[in-house]
């Protein structure tokens, strides 16, 4: 065989590889032209067969019938933004998507590819003369979709976190909720004394374990307090009395054996299933839990939610951890005009009611009737102060959250370290993290 | 009979061919030379586009800060320094090495024992199918079942309780989780490597074992002096395959310790999971640079290990 030939082929291959490699890193950057407004492509976070998908599918039919605008919809599922991301800098593959703020912030806001939808608030709602989108969506929900001063997510559905329980097991709790954590702890102690597990938690999901510390911090010091500590690059804020006390609250639950047996050594959703079948009292979880556990919940399970009791938080309303699903338009979307019309159409009362009925959830209009399982959530959101899940820490300091906070928080909630050690280590490791991250 | 073929003798063969090729000037050889490029080029281009290019691109990306779209910022070796300083990377890398060497030792020991036991067993083809079975079932399915088997109220603990152990171990507690994962991977892999090694052992002429029996050799001596030397090449290949598979271990952990919207706890990460979570964590700006750096380190380690294994296991080829 000819050596020169081999060498030449190899060199050619390498050159080709380099060129292709570099091409793969670049990608098109050309701007998008404006479309004709007669069609739009919508990539959904829902999957075929989910109640939300059925609701939106019906709404799309109505929209096309009324406006003549064709909607090419693809039910992509929760990874929708990951799939869309490679096209965001060229011609986006979709003119409209839906997702929650943490994902939009990570994938789109960080790369400047999410459009500001503040203008949509002025759009009139078809069939409701004189009312605009901004008139019907409460400001506190809009706040859950804002980043860097822009309305990047326009909420259409809300989920809220709280302590879920079976109304039949705790009669009277709804009418006379505990005024603060200490009062609620008495309920838990009584449960424990009666030989029942007061709390359920699948601690193998780090976020579920983290709900506890997060809620105690915000419950004691108000929304923004967890974020403030996480933003402190010296880590010293974690050692302040309020934060240490929140850690002590969590550690006490683990120490006193308040969580259902096996919570620290099971595979999700084992403990959640225990709760749904009446083997544990309360589950700190988002409002999707009613739909998620319904298929296997004990018959007659009356889904009720108690907002996480305050632990001295300043301000009037109880802080309620919440997140939204909302509309997102890529900055370079070709059919952004049609997308905006579609969004305005979906805020119509008839459409929102149909969605709430089908999805059995809370929508971003307060004048909509909610399903019985969502009654407490609606009330908590109305009377309380919604704040982003984990105070927005998981989206703004995601790497720190996963690598520094999660391991320590799981140890705390499973009783492997004391509150003092947790606070010490969190402070030291956070300082280290920020030193590395620069 | 076995005959040793010296390395030198093997080395001469290609040399001779090469000399012949260079000297040839006949029309056939010239024609063959002309056809070399048209035949090799398509395959080479495909190889370059789908294998070499991504590798080069990965190395290139590892020197940048990049969110997966938009501008790339040159950071030089910073991704690598940051990664090596990251305690989570060190844990992930430690787990990878533990699986590679610890898991590898156990897997190969078990495979040898099974090979020796199955060699003389009646109905061994059935037995072989049975032990190969875990390898056919997708790792995802096994890892999910594995989770149910080992959890606090799982099958194993129920069985332990029924025989009177009141407090069975917390298998899936954070500190034990990776060990259980390793057990699962070993269980899945043992059948695979046993099957390959058995195929090699089957080729060993039975009269060698008869010889051993006459000489009064015990099982260990049979293994040490007949089985091992005569299946050495295949074991070498198995070692390389194990190294590559162990370094790539990913989906088993993701399915067993994670859930639809959540990553497994950091104590169970391997280098591959570290790379994956750097980009595909549920939230956070994707860090393609760090993920690529982790992939490059893995690739480099696999390369070094494979070369080392090939060197260490090089023996004179035995013909029998």
- Residues B84 and B54 grouped into a single domain: no
Residues B39 and B180 in one domain: no
Report the chain A residue with the minimal C-alpha distance to residue B70.
A111
- Of the residues A364, A383, A402, which one is the last residue of a structural domain? A383
Report the 10 Å Cβ neighbour count for A294: 13
Statement to judge: residues A241 and A171 lie in one domain:
yes
pLDDT at A75 over 50: yes
Is A311 found in the same domain as A420?
yes
Cβ distance of A205 and B44 shorter than 8 Å: no
My answer on whether A307 and A176 are in the same domain is yes
Are B85 and A204 an interchain contact pair (Cβ–Cβ within 8 Å)?
no
Residue A24 lies in a domain: no
The three-class DSSP label of residue A408 is: helix
What residue numbers bound the domain in which B46 lies? Answer: 7-61
Between A14, A21, A264, which is nearest B60 by CB? A21
A429 shares its domain with A342: no
Query: How many angstroms separate the CA of residue B50 from the nearest CA in chain A?
Result: 9
CB–CB of A64/A10 below 8 Å? no
Which residues in chain A have Cβ-Cβ distances shorter than 8 Å to B285? 106-107, 110, 398
Contact B282 A110 (CB under 8 A): no
* pLDDT score, position A11: 54
Q: Please, are residues B143 and B255 in contact by the beta-carbon 8 Å criterion?
A: yes
Phi-psi region of B46 (alpha: psi -120 to 50; beta: other; left: phi over 0): alpha
Does A268 contact B at CB distance below 8 Å?
yes
pLDDT at A335 over 90: yes
Residues in chain B within 8 Å Cβ distance of A25: 57, 60-61, 66, 72
For residues B154 and B24, state if they share a domain.
no
Peptide bond into A269 cis (omega under 30): yes
Structural domain that includes position A228:
161-317+391-437
Q: What SS3 state is found at A74?
A: strand
Taking contacts as CB-CB distances below 8 angstroms, the residues of chain A near B48 are: 13-14, 16-17, 20
With 50 as the cut, is the pLDDT of residue A21 above it? Answer: no
A218 and A319 Cβ atoms separated by less than 8 Å? yes
Residue by residue, pLDDT tens for chain B (320 residues) are 444 444 444 444 444 444 444 555 788 888 888 889 999 999 999 999 999 999 999 999 999 999 887 789 999 999 999 999 999 999 999 999 999 999 999 999 999 999 988 887 888 888 888 888 888 888 888 878 888 899 888 999 999 999 999 889 999 999 999 999 999 999 989 999 999 999 999 899 989 999 998 999 998 898 899 999 999 999 999 999 999 999 989 988 998 888 777 889 999 999 999 999 998 888 888 899 999 999 999 999 999 999 999 999 888 767 77
> Does the residue B75 lie in any domain?
no
For residue B1, is it within any domain?
no
Q: What is the CATH number of the domain that holds A58?
A: 3.40.190.10
Instruction: Point out the least confidently predicted range of A32-36, A393-397, B182-186, B248-252.
Output: A32-36
Which among B33, B173, B263 is the nearest to A402, CB-wise?
A: B263
In a domain, B2, yes or no: no
Distance from CA of B183 to the nearest CA of A (A): 16
Mean pLDDT of the region A150-163: 97
| Interface touch B286/A107, C-beta < 8 Å | yes
Looking at the structure of chain B, the number of domains it has is 2
Query: Is there a single domain that holds both residue B43 and residue B101?
Result: no
- Cβ atoms of A53 and A113 closer than 8 Å: no
A105 touches B: beta carbon within 8 Å: yes
Cross-chain Cβ contact B85/A16 below 8 Å: no
Q: Do B168 and B219 lie in a common domain?
A: yes
Q: What is the rounded CA–CA span in Å between residue B243 and residue B300?
A: 12
Reported as half-sphere exposure (CB side, CA atoms, 13 A), residue B69 has a value of: 24
Please, which pLDDT band fits residue A18 given cuts at 50, 70 and 90? very low
Interface of A with B in 383-422 (CB under 8 A): 394-395, 398-399, 401-403, 406-407, 410-411, 414, 416
| A325/A145 Cα distance (integer angstroms) | 9
Is a pLDDT exceeding 90 seen at residue A113? yes
Instruction: Read off the CATH number of the domain in which B210 is found.
Output: 1.10.3720.10
Task: Look at A27 and B69 and tell me if their CB atoms are within 8 Å.
Answer: yes
Tell me whether residue B300 is exposed, middle or buried, using C-beta atoms within 10 angstroms of its C-beta: 0 to 12, 13 to 18, 19 or more.
exposed
Q: Tell whether the model's pLDDT for residue A9 goes beyond 60.
A: no
Q: Give chain B positions within 8 Å (CB) of A267.
A: 147-148, 151, 172, 256
- Is the CB of residue A213 less than 8 Å from the CB of residue A225? no
Q: Is A407 in contact with B72 (Cβ distance < 8 A)?
A: no
Q: Chain B partners of A264 at a C-beta cutoff of 8 Å? A: 170, 173-174
Classify residue B66: in a domain, yes or no: no
User: Within a domain: residue B185?
Assistant: yes
What's the pLDDT band for A427 if we cut at 50, 70, 90? very high
Long-range contacts, stretch A364-371, CB < 8 angstroms, 24+ apart: A364/A136, A364/A137, A364/A138, A364/A141, A364/A155, A364/A156, A364/A157, A364/A158, A364/A324, A364/A326, A365/A136, A365/A137, A366/A138, A367/A136
Angle at which helix A241-255 crosses helix A206-221, to 10 degrees, equals: 130
Q: Quick one: tokens of A245?
A: 């006390």
**pLDDT for A7:** 58
Is B115 contained in some domain? yes
Instruction: Give the Cα separation of B320 and B318 in Å (integer).
Output: 6
Q: Distance from A402 to chain B by nearest Cα, in Å?
A: 8
Alpha carbon distance A114, A100 (integer Å):
13
Q: Which residues does chain A have within 8 Å of residue B259's beta carbon, measured at their own beta carbons?
A: 204-205, 268
| Residues A332, A294 share a domain | no
Q: Which of A139, A140, A137 is nearest to A160 (CA)?
A: A140
B97 min Cα distance to partner chain A (Å): 20
Contacts of A111 in chain B (CB under 8 A): 67-70
CA dihedral A51→A53→A58→A62, nearest 10 degrees, is 140
Structure tokens of B56? Answer: 């080069």
* Domain match, A311 and A221 both: yes
Residue B67 lies in a domain: no
- How many CB atoms lie under 10 A from the CB of residue A308? 26
d(CA B219, CA A166): 64
DSSP state for residue A317 in the 8-state scheme: S
CA distance A99 to chain B (A): 12
Question: Any CB–CB contact under 8 A between A331 and chain B?
Answer: no
CA distance, residue A270 to nearest chain B CA (Å): 8
Q: How far is A65 from chain B (nearest CA, A)?
A: 36
Q: How many residues does chain B have?
A: 320
- Encoding tokens for residue B272? 């591959």
> What is the pLDDT, as a whole number, of residue B60?
96
Partner-chain residue, chosen from B37, B70, B147, that has the shortest CB–CB distance to A267: B147
Do residues B179 and B269 share a domain? Answer: yes
| A21 within domain boundaries | no
- Containing H/E element for A191? helix A181-193
Measure in Å the smallest separation between the Cα of A361 and chain B Cα atoms: 19
Contacts B92 to A, Cβ<8 Å? none
Q: Are residues A271 and A412 in the same domain?
A: yes
Q: A244 in a domain, yes or no?
A: yes
Residue A429: pLDDT band with limits 50, 70, 90: very high
Long-range contacts of B102-110 (CB under 8 A, 24+ apart): B102/B182, B103/B182, B103/B185, B103/B186, B103/B189, B103/B246, B104/B239, B104/B242, B104/B243, B104/B246, B106/B186, B107/B186, B107/B189, B107/B190, B107/B193, B107/B242, B108/B193, B108/B235, B108/B238, B108/B239, B108/B242, B110/B186, B110/B190, B110/B194
User: Quick one: B41 and B189 in the same domain?
Assistant: no
Whether A63 and A136 share a structural domain: yes
Residues B187 and B118 in one domain: yes
Chain B interface, mutation test: which of A257, A261, A265, most B Cβ atoms within 10 Å?
Answer: A265
Total residues belonging to chain A: 438
Residues of A whose CB is below 8 A from B265: 204, 206, 406-407, 410
Domain boundary among A346, A365, A383: A383
Token representation of residue A185: 């702890």
Residues A371 and A304 in one domain: no
Residue B215, Cβ density class (10 Å: 0-12 exposed, 13-18 middle, ≥19 buried): exposed
Q: Are residues A296 and A181 part of one domain? A: yes
**Looking at residues A219-239, what average pLDDT do you find?**
97
Question: What was the pLDDT predicted at A6?
Answer: 54
Q: Which residues contact B15 (CB under 8 A, 6 or more apart)?
A: none
* Å between B42 CA and nearest CA of chain A: 11
A232 domain-assigned? yes
Chain B residues with CB-CB distance to A5 below 8 A = 33, 36-37
Average pLDDT rounded to a whole number, residues A287-313: 94
Q: Say whether both A139 and A252 belong to one domain.
A: no
Number of H helices, E strands in chain B: 17, 4
Task: Tell me if residue A240 falls in helix, strand or coil.
Answer: coil
Mean pLDDT check: name the lowest of A15-29, A71-85, A189-203, A275-289: A15-29
Minimal C-alpha gap between A213 and chain B (Å): 17
Residues B40 and B182 in one domain: no
- Structure confidence at residue B23 (pLDDT): 53
Q: Are residues A178 and A276 in the same domain?
A: yes
Contact A331, A110 (CB under 8 A): no
Q: Residue B19's pLDDT is what?
A: 47
Q: Per-residue pLDDT tens for B46-102? A: 999 999 999 999 999 999 999 887 789 999 999 999 999 999 999 999 999 999 999
User: What does the CA dihedral A265, A268, A271, A272 come to, rounded to 10 degrees?
Assistant: 160
* pLDDT, position A26: 38
Q: Is the pLDDT of residue A13 over 70?
A: no
pLDDT at A416 over 50: yes
| Residue B68 within a domain | no
Of A295 and B259, more confident: A295
CA-closest candidate to residue A138, choices A376, A367, A308, A371: A367
Is residue B25 located within the same domain as residue B153?
no
B78-85 and A419-437 helices cross at what angle (nearest 10)?
170
User: Residues B12, B146: one domain?
Assistant: no
Q: How many domains does chain A have?
A: 2
Going through A94-252 in order, the beta strands assigned E by DSSP cover 96-99, 146-147, 150-151, 154-166, 197-200
Residue B272 CB neighbour total at 10 angstroms: 21
A206, A265, A402 member nearest B170 (Cβ): A265
Q: Is residue A9 part of a domain?
A: no
For residues B13 and B85, state if they share a domain.
no
Helix (H) or strand (E) segment spanning residue B89: helix B87-97
Residue ending a domain, choose from A383, A406, A425: A383
In this prediction, residue A409 carries a pLDDT of 97
Q: Which is nearest to A29 in space by CA: A108, A88, A114, A117?
A: A88
Residue B287 near residue B278 (C-beta atoms within 8 A): yes
Contact A111 B48 (CB under 8 A): no
């Amino acid at each position: 065989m000819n050596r020169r030939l081999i060498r030449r082929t190899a060199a050619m291959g390498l050159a080709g590889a380099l060129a292709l490699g570099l091409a793969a890193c670049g990608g098109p950057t050309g701007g998008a032209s404006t479309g004709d407004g007669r069609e739009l492509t919508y990539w959904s976070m829902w999957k075929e067969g989910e109640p939300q998908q059925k609701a939106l599918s019906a709404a799309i039919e109505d929209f096309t019938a009324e406006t003549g605008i064709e909607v090419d919809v693809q039910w992509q599922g929760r990874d929708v933004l990951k799939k869309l991301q490679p096209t965001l800098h060229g011609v986006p593959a979709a003119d409209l998507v839906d997702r929650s703020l943490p994902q939009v912030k990570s994938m789109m806001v960080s790369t400047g590819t999410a459009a500001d939808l503040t203008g949509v608030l002025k759009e009139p709602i078809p069939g409701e003369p004189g009312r605009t989108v901004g008139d019907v969506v409460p400001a506190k929900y809009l706040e859950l979709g804002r980043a860097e001063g822009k309305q990047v997510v326009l909420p259409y559905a809300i989920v809220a976190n709280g302590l879920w329980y079976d109304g039949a097991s705790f009669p009277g709790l709804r009418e006379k909720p505990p005024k603060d954590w200490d009062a609620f702890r008495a309920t838990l102690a009584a449960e424990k004394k009666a030989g029942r597990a007061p709390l359920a938690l699948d601690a193998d999901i780090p976020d579920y374990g983290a709900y506890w510390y997060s809620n105690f911090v915000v419950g004691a010091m108000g929304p923004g307090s967890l974020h403030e500590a996480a933003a402190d690059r010296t880590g010293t804020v974690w050692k302040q009395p309020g934060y240490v006390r929140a850690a002590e609250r969590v550690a006490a639950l683990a120490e006193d054996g308040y969580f259902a047996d096996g919570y620290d050594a099971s595979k999700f959703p084992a403990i959640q299933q225990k709760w749904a079948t009446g083997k544990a009292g309360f589950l700190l979880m988002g409002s999707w839990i009613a739909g998620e556990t319904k298929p296997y919940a004990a018959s007659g399970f009356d889904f009720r939610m108690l907002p996480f009791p305050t632990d001295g938080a300043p301000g009037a309303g109880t802080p309620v951890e919440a997140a939204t699903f909302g509309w997102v338009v890529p900055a370079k979307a070709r059919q952004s005009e049609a997308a905006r019309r579609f969004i305005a159409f979906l805020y119509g009362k008839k459409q929102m009611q149909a969605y709430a009925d089908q999805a059995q959830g809370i929508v971003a209009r307060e004048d909509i009737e909610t399903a019985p399982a969502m009654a407490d959530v609606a009330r908590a959101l109305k009377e309380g102060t919604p704040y982003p899940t984990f105070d927005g820490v998981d989206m703004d300091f995601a790497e720190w959250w996963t690598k520094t906070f999660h391991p320590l928080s799981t140890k705390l909630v499973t009783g492997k370290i004391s509150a003092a050690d947790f606070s010490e280590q969190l402070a030291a490791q956070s300082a280290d993290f920020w030193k590395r991250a620069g | 009979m076995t005959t040793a073929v010296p390395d030198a003798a093997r080395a001469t063969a290609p040399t001779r061919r090469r000399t012949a090729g260079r000297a040839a000037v006949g029309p056939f050889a010239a024609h063959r030379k002309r056809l070399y490029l048209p035949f090799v080029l398509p395959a080479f281009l495909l190889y370059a586009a789908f294998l070499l290019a991504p590798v080069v691109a990965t190395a290139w990306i590892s020197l940048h800060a990049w969110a997966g779209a938009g501008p790339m910022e040159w950071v030089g070796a910073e991704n690598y320094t940051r990664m090596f300083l990251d305690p989570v990377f060190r844990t992930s890398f430690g787990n990878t090495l533990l699986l590679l060497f610890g898991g590898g030792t156990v897997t190969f020991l078990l495979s040898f024992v099974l090979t020796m036991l199955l060699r003389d067993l009646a109905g061994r083809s059935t037995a072989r199918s049975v032990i190969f079975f875990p390898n056919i079932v997708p790792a995802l399915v096994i890892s999910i079942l594995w989770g149910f088997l080992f959890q606090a109220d799982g099958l194993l603990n129920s069985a332990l309780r029924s025989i009177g152990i009141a407090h069975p171990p917390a298998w899936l507690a954070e500190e034990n989780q990776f060990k259980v994962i390793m057990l699962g991977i070993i269980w899945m892999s043992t059948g695979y490597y046993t099957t390959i090694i058995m195929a090699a052992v089957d080729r060993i002429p039975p009269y060698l074992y008869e010889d051993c029996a006459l000489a009064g050799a015990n099982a260990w001596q049979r293994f040490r002096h007949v089985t091992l030397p005569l299946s050495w090449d295949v074991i070498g290949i198995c070692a390389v395959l194990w190294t590559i598979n162990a370094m790539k271990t990913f989906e088993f952990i993701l399915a067993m310790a994670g859930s639809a919207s959540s990553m497994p706890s950091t104590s169970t990460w391997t280098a591959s999971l570290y790379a994956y979570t750097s980009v595909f964590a549920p939230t956070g700006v994707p860090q393609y640079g760090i993920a690529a750096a982790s992939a490059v380190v893995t690739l480099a380690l696999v390369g070094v290990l494979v070369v080392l294994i090939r060197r260490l296991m090089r023996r004179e080829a035995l013909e029998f």
